[in-house]
Structure formats: structure tokens, C-alpha cells
Amino acid sequence: MASPSYRLAALDQDFLLGDSMRGVRFMLEYGKAEEALRDWGVRSTLVVFGSARIGENGDPVHARWYNEARAFGRLASERGGALRARPGEPRDNVIATGGGPGIMGAANRGAHDVGAPSIGYNITLPHEQEPNPWSTPELTFRFHYFAMRKMHFAMRANALVVFPGGFGTFDELFEILTLRQTGKKRNVPIVLFDEAYWRSVVGFEKLVEFGMIAPVDLELVSFAEDAEGIWTELLARGLRPGHESAEDPHQPALQSEGVTG
């Protein structure tokens, strides 16, 4: 009875964390977040990416990015449908971030400013990431697998808003761009904040020049310079608060659940 083989499988941590149970762990990471999102009635999200290294104090450029991300989290929560009018109604366009500090914290904070829920999809890292204090506790998750985290980002996304960032931000941006380019994700708008930054770090036209992407692929992204501009661009590119086109997350929607990793 003291042998590990006698333990109930569901209570045997050594077994559950073994190689043979990797697929089960994938399912658990999907199911735990999915259950909480359904309980909160989250039908669709507005995903905000950006650097974790940006603060509201210090560098004036960083402060501007932070404050505009916070302003966008606030106005999108007020106008998008995250503040549901009656119990039982679905919540739409709920702010969803990677859950960490910087731009992510700013967007969650903007939602918190107006009493709206927001989502934090955290990831376990070698240098432990801690959730920012602004995402809704019941909607603050921690993932081990980047792929499952990305799947949750993509499933309910009505739009993607990307502030300046580094490798992690690029990873998430090009993930969704690839899904859009290949038709594995429906036509959600992708807005990049601060055109000068993005054109200085990514040679979009050079990709066309060298034949790496088609000219039409440049139409997958647009740019904005402030929170109101982001919202205006999202509306111009098809976001329709109150007339949601997001796939029902309770039904199979394989095209919107793809990940490239």
C-alpha cells in the first residue's frame, strides 16, 4: 500500500507530471481556464500585447505608451460590452493580456478603473512572472505551455492591439498574423500602436520587396497613435460592439483555435 503504484492516479502527482501524461496536462490547462471564462460569461475578448518593461514613470516615451494602454483598457471596457447590463448576459470584448506588468498591467488597470473584469493569461517562466494586481482574480490564470496559452488568446479574440514590445510581443503578434495570413483565424483587426516604433523595428515593406509576403498582407495591420485612435481603427476594421461575430466558444471552431507552435 506504500508503493507509488497503489496511489489513486488522480492524486499521484509524480504520475501526473510524468512524460506520458503531457497530453492530459494540455487538456487540464485548456479546461480550467475555459470553465472559469464560461462562468463569467466571457464570449469575446480584445487582446492587448506589449512590453512588460514599460512603466508609468521615468522615460516619457514609455510613460506615454503606458498611459495610452491604460486609457484604451478603460474606454474599450466601457464601450465594448465587458460591463454587462443584466445578470446572465454574455460579456463581449473583455480586455485580455499576458497578465504581467508594463503594458499588460496598464490595460488590465484601465478595465479595473471602470469596474470591468479583465483577463490575465500568465505563463510560468524561469524567473517567475507574477500577475499584475489589476486583472480580475477569478480570471487570472497561469499556464505552463505557451501553446495552450496562445490557444486561449486566439479563441475568443475579436481584435488584437499591440503596443511596443520585444521578443515576447513579436512572438504573439506574428502568431496571430500567421493565423490571419493562412486563413486559420477569422478576419479580426490587428492594430499596432505607435507607427514610428513599428516601422523602425520591422521592415514590413522590405518583406514584400524580398518576396517573403504578398503586398496584400500589409493590409493585415493598421496603426494608431492614441487610445481613441485605436478604438476608431477597430470600428473601421469591423469591430461591432453589440453585434458580436465571435464564434461561440462553446461550439467547435477549429479555424479560430489554431496555433502555429
CA-CA distance, 71 to 89, in Å (whole number)?
Answer: 25
Residues 73, 150: contact at Cβ < 8 Å?
Answer: no
CA-CA distance, 105 to 98, in Å (whole number)?
Answer: 9
pTM of the model: 0.91
Q: What is the pLDDT of residues 20-75, one digit of tens each?
A: 999 999 999 999 999 999 999 999 999 999 999 999 998 999 999 999 999 999 99
Give me the DSSP letters along 220-257.
Answer: GEEEESSHHHHHHHHHHTT--TTS-----TTS--GGGG
Listed in sequence order, the DSSP H helices in 40-96 are 60-80
CA-CA distance, 9 to 6, in Å (whole number)?
Answer: 8
CA torsion sign, 116 to 165 to 102 to 62?
negative
Instruction: Give residue 85's pLDDT band: very low, low, confident or very high (50, 70, 90).
Output: low
Q: Which residues contact 84 (CB under 8 A, 6 or more apart)?
A: 41, 90, 91
CA-CA distance, 189 to 4, in Å (whole number)?
Answer: 51
In the predicted structure, residue 256 carries a pLDDT above the cut 50 = no
User: CA triplet 54, 57, 59: central angle to 5 degrees?
Assistant: 65
In the predicted structure, residue 261 carries a pLDDT above the cut 50 = no
